[in-house]
Structure 1
Amino acid sequence: MGEQNHSAGKELQHRTRTEAPAKKNWHPQAYTLGAISNFMSTFLTFPIYKVVFRQQIHAMAVSEAVRQLWHEGPQYFYRGIYPPLLSKTLQGTLLFGTYDSLLCCLSPDGPHSLGHRWTAGLMSGVVEAVALSPFERVQNVLQDGRKQARFPSTFSILKEFNSYGLWGRLSLGYYRGFWPVLVRNSLGSALYFSFKDPIQDGLAEQGLPHWVPALVSGSVNGTITCLVLYPLIVLVANMQSHIGWQRMPSLWASAQDVWDTRGRKVLLIYRGGSLVILRSSVTWGLTTAIHDFLQRKSHSRKELKD
């Protein structure tokens, strides 16, 4: 009986991802739960993210970063949380929704090949970068302790950006550091969606509860993807923390500056990586598990109606 239930569950999981995606893939509940899961994960892991950010900017140890935040006071501990809360909520909606829609266009009848998943993931990452890069830009300025006196609030940063001309608002303001963001998001989404299902299917064969493969797959896949692209994360954080016309080095100059300030050592580039593992495990594991659970419930209700 246990083997029959496992086989039925696996078959349902497979059909959920492959059957008629073009007809019933735009479920409002999927976007809602994706947004909620990203919102909760961002709030819970924001202190970890802020410590990681300080390490990326100042190349300091974990204890040093925590001590610096402690000395600044609790009133600044959650400073900068509103942009990531909003952006991650939008990300939960965009990421899965855009990916599913693009996958339907590339392969309406299924099954979806690795090439289809890679292409859809790559393109969804591009959409995500264009839509969410301004939020990340404001967030990185707010989290830089060196900017607290000059820019005490989000409004003060927006006022600074809007004082530039049209091109300045884009290149110096909201989309500062856009190209590494584009590469990071597109490759990250492509890697995540390409290998999420194979890992999940392999774990499902072990007879585990249906939510365990989704949780572990999202956690492992998100963590590996984040670590592979971690140098780009550090580069983006450093590029987007600068404000003003006087600090506008090129992409190559910014990358060279990060490399030089880290003593030309890969180990220092990856400082903060252990906390990224923890944050990515919680965020991507929770998001993947909720999204998979919703897909299963929606497919079950559809079968009952039919």
Structure 2
Amino acid sequence: MGEQNHSPRKELQHRTRAEAPGKKSWHSQAYALGAVSNSMSTFLTFPIYKVVFRQQIHAMAVSEAVRQLWHEGPQYFYRGIYRPLLSKTLQGTLLFGTYDGLLCFLSPLGPYTLGCHWAAGIMSGLVEAVALSPFERVQNVLQDGRKQARFPSTFSILEEFNSYGLWGRLSRGYYHGFWPVLARNSLGSTLYFSFKDPMQDGLAEQGLARWIPALVSGSVNETITCLVLYPLIVLVANMQSHMGWQSMPSLWASAQDVWNTWGQKLLLSYRGCSLVILRSSVTWGLTTAIQDFLQRKSHSRKELKTD
């Protein structure tokens, strides 16, 4: 009876760890799976992302945001898609790969305690923030329709950043808004990884098709994470959309400005949250399902070679 309480996913994890005892458990497979799953989901959800960003910056309704993009013309609808595609691919590579590597380092043969999940989540969020903040910074400037005339391309944005001087390039350029990004990424990865596997294991025990637990756990878990962190997401978007040496508000000033923009009511800061939930649900549901599918396929091939 005790063995029946272990889900197939847990058994797969334990067998994978036991295959190479004593070896460094820094699996390159986790990096590849993260890259593939995130790039696919990003391409599918980019239109939703752009509408959400306009809501966060201009505090407008969904219909108004869609109308604004329509009036700008179809040539601008996918403006900047290459940067989020690249950054999200790198994000998946770093997030899943670093998390898996740190988890294996903290507990090479398992089982993984909640503390191990938290530590690995925080550290992977830190790596992600350091590596990808510049990509997000440039993307948020490009997405702001108010800056299309002054900064029509990535090159014009980078040229502005590079004119600030060494410290200015970091604090007011590439890494402006870094601290809320770090908080968002660390908290987000910790919540996602801490609750994804238990939820997926519980659903798997219900006898559902293999892809359903991964899809549902990724979607539900990221939806909850998004609801918790949404005010921080709005703050990041507003901070990173600012440009110019003289017009760079501090973290506290940016938070006050966002608070005043939303009428000093927390519920109003969730305007546009429905689209964020939809995008995150689809993105991370697909990401989790694809990753789980490819992981099972890879393990099956290894078992066939062993036999």
Normalised to the residue count of structure 2, the TM-score between the two structures is 0.93
Equivalent residue, structure 1, for 2:240: 240
Deviation of the 1:78 alpha carbon? 1.0
Counterpart contact for 2:223–2:281, Cα < 8 Å:
yes
Identity of aligned residues (%): 83
Secondary structure at the aligned position of 1:246 is classed as helix
Structure 1 position 15 matched with structure 2 position 11:
yes
Deviation of the 1:29 alpha carbon? 4.6
**Cα distance in 1 for residues equivalent to 2:282 and 2:25:** 25
**1:139-288 counterparts in 2 under 5 A?**
139-288=139-288
Of residues 258-267 and 189-198 in structure 1, the stretch that sits farther from structure 2 once superposed is 258-267
**Cα distance in 2 for residues equivalent to 1:272 and 1:11:** 37
Equivalent residue, structure 1, for 2:107: 107
* Aligned partner letter, 1:270: Y
Distance 1:110 1:25, change over 3 A: same
Counterpart contact for 1:219–1:282, Cα < 8 Å:
yes
**Cα distance in 1 for residues equivalent to 2:210 and 2:140:** 37
Of residues 118-127 and 177-186 in structure 1, the stretch that sits farther from structure 2 once superposed is 118-127
Q: Deviations over 1:22-81 (max 9, x none)?
A: 758555454334222211211221111111111101111001111111111111111122
Deviation of the 1:88 alpha carbon? 0.2
Counterpart contact for 2:26–2:104, Cα < 8 Å:
no
Equivalent residue, structure 2, for 1:4: none
**Cα distance in 2 for residues equivalent to 1:168 and 1:19:** 50
User: Alpha carbon RMSD of aligned pairs, Å?
Assistant: 1.7
Q: Deviations over 1:88-137 (max 9, x none)?
A: 00011111110011001111120101111111011101100111110000
Deviation of the 1:281 alpha carbon? 1.0
Gaps of 5+ in 1: 1-6
Distance 1:93 1:229, change over 3 A: same
Count of matched residue positions in the alignment of Structure 1 and Structure 2: 299
Normalised to the residue count of structure 1, the TM-score between the two structures is 0.93
